[in-house]
Amino acid sequence: MFDWLIVGAGFAGSVLAERIASQRNESVLLIDRRSHIGGNAYDCYNEAGILIHKYGPHIFHTNAQSIVDYLSAFTQWRPYEHRVLSQVDGQLLPIPINLDTINKLYGLDLTSEELEQFFASRRETVEEIRTAEDVVVSTVGRELYEKFFRGYTRKQWGVDPSQLNKSVTARVPTRTDRDDRYFGDSFQNMPAGGYTRMFERMLDNPNIKIMLQTDYRDIQSRIPFRRMIYTGPIDEYFDWSLGRLPYRSLRFEHVTIDREQFQPVAVVNYPQTEDYTRITEYKHLTGQQSPKTSLTYEYPTDVGDPYYPVPRAENEALYKRYEALAANVEDVWFVGRLATYRYYNMDQVVGQALATFARIQKSLPLAGSTPAEAAE
C-alpha cells in the first residue's frame, strides 16, 4: 500500500512527490501516462545532440525568491533573458511593443515622452476592460492591436480576442522605453542542465517510485493507496460528467537544419502570416555551440494533448462546478494547470504545489510533530 498516489510527473506532481517523500518520509507512487517525467517542461537531447523542449519553449522567470530557493536545491542556473521578435509588415520587430517597435514600424524617431502621446492619441476608451481585445485597444489602439495581437490570438486560441478573458493578452506588457525583454521578472534564468535533469534530482528519493506510460484510468482500482494528488485535467477525473472543459492544444514540428543560426533571437512570432504562431530556436536558450540548429514550429489545434485552459467566462463557470465536486472528494488534492484550470506559468505551479504541501502538513500532522511544526 502506497501512502500516496500522484498522478502526473510535471511540476505540480513532482514538487509534491519530492516534498512528501523528503519531509513526511511517506511512500509515493508517481505515475504519468507519458513515457517521461517533467510534464510539459520535459527537455531532451535530439539526434543532433541539441537540447530541445519537446512541448515548446519553456523559459523560467519569477519574482518569488522562495520558489527560486526551492528549485535551487535541484539545479544550478544559466543566465538567460528572453527576447522575442514579431514578424509584422515584413519586418522583425520587438514584442512586447516598445519604443523601438514603433520607431522601426513607422520610420519615426520618437522619444519615450512622445511615444506616450502617440499611444494616448490612438488608444480607445473602453468602459470596462473585460476581454483580450479591450486590454490592447485601450493601451495602444486598434491598428497595433490588429498588427500584433488579433491574428496571433485567433490562431493560438481559435477564437477572436473579444471572446477571451483580458488575462490572456494582459500577459504581454506595453513599454515606452527600449527594454526588449519578454519578461520583467526579477529572476530570469534557465536550469543549467535542463529541466529534465532538475526533475531527476527532485525525484531521486527511495520513497518515490515512478511508473511511466501508466494512465490513472487504467490502474486506479488495481493499485492500493491512501491519498492522492491529481494533476491531470479535472473534467477527465470526473468522467466529463458536467461536460468537457476546453483545453487548447498544439502540434509541434521539430526540425534540425544544417545552419549555425536560423533567426536572431530564441523566438519569432508570426501574427500576420503562416499557420504556425511562432518558431523557437533552442540554441539561444542554452548557449550550445553546434554547426546545426534545432527549431520548433507551433501549430495550434483543438485536438491532441491538453496544454492550455481557455480563459473565458463560460469555461470558468464550468470549472467552478467541477471545483465544487472536487471539494467533496476526500483525501484527493487537485493541483496544477490542468487540474485547477488555470493559465499558470511554471513558477506559479511550483508555488501552488508548495502551498498545497503546506495545507497537507496542516491537515495531516505527522505523528510526533507539534501543532506549530505541522503548521510550518
Under rule CB under 6 A, residue 40 binds ligand FAD: yes
Which region, judged by CB under 6 A, interacts with ligand FAD, from 39-47, 99-107, 122-130, 269-277? 39-47
Task: List 298's β-bridge partners, or say none.
Answer: 252
152, amino acid identity:
Y
Round to whole Å and give the CA distance between 254 and 45: 12
Cβ neighbours of residue 18 under 8 Å, at least 6 residues apart?
202, 203, 205, 208
Round to whole Å and give the CA distance between 176 and 219: 54
DSSP states along 88-122 = ETTEEEEES--HHHHHHHHT----HHHHHHHHHHH
Neighbours of 370 (CB within 10 A): 9
Residue with cell 498544439: 250
Q: How far is the CB of 340 from ligand UDP (least distance, A)?
A: 16
The dihedral formed by the CA atoms of 127, 129, 130 and 136, expressed in degrees to the nearest 10: 130
Q: What is the chain's percent helix, strand, coil content, to nearest 5?
A: 35, 20, 45
Which of the choices ligand FAD, ligand UDP, none does residue 33 contact, using the CB cut-off of 5 to 8 A by kind?
Answer: ligand FAD
- Give me the 11-30 binding string for ligand FAD, x by CB under 6 A, dash otherwise: xxx-----------------
Cell (9 digits) for 367: 505523528
Which of the choices ligand FAD, ligand UDP, none does residue 10 contact, using the CB cut-off of 5 to 8 A by kind?
Answer: ligand FAD
Q: Which is nearer to ligand UDP, 311 or 365 (CB)?
A: 311
Query: Which segments within 302-345 are labelled E, that is strand?
Result: 308-309, 332-334
Round to whole Å and give the CA distance between 97 and 100: 8
Q: How far is the CB of 79 from ligand UDP (least distance, A)?
A: 20
Which region, judged by CB under 6 A, interacts with ligand FAD, from 51-59, 91-99, 141-149, 159-167? 51-59
Before 96, cis peptide (omega within 30)? Answer: yes
Q: How far is the CB of 307 from ligand UDP (least distance, A)?
A: 9
- Give me the 250-289 binding string for ligand UDP, x by CB under 6 A, dash otherwise: -------------------x-x------------------
Q: Which is nearer to ligand UDP, 157 or 357 (CB)?
A: 157
Residue from 95, 97, 285, 335 binding ligand UDP (CB under 6 A): 95
Residue from 286, 345, 356, 361 binding ligand FAD (CB under 6 A): 345
Round to whole Å and give the CA distance between 280 and 303: 22
Torsions phi, psi for 58 (to 5 deg):
-115, 110
Residue from 42, 55, 70, 149 binding ligand UDP (CB under 6 A): 149
Round to whole Å and give the CA distance between 70 and 51: 24
Cα torsion angle, 71, 73, 74, 76, sign: positive
Which of the choices ligand UDP, ligand FAD, none does residue 24 contact, using the CB cut-off of 5 to 8 A by kind?
Answer: none
Residue 92 CA: distances (Å) to CA of 76, 182, 278: 33, 15, 13
Q: Which is nearer to ligand FAD, 134 or 347 (CB)?
A: 347
Under rule CB under 6 A, residue 279 binds ligand FAD: no
Is the distance from CB of 124 to CB of 138 less than 8 angstroms?
Answer: yes
Is the distance from CB of 193 to CB of 75 less than 8 angstroms?
Answer: yes
Q: How far is the CB of 61 from ligand FAD (least distance, A)?
A: 6
Residue from 152, 297, 322, 357 binding ligand UDP (CB under 6 A): 152
Under rule CB under 6 A, residue 147 binds ligand FAD: no
- Within residues 203-222, the interface with ligand FAD by CB under 6 A covers 215-217
Under rule CB under 6 A, residue 337 binds ligand FAD: yes
Q: Which is nearer to ligand FAD, 135 or 346 (CB)?
A: 346
- Within residues 71-90, the interface with ligand UDP by CB under 6 A covers 86
* Residues found near ligand FAD in the complex (CB under 6 A): 7-13, 31-34, 39-41, 55-59, 215-217, 231-232, 250, 307, 336-338, 344-347, 349
* Residues found near ligand UDP in the complex (CB under 6 A): 86, 95, 148-149, 152-153, 156, 168-169, 171-172, 269, 271
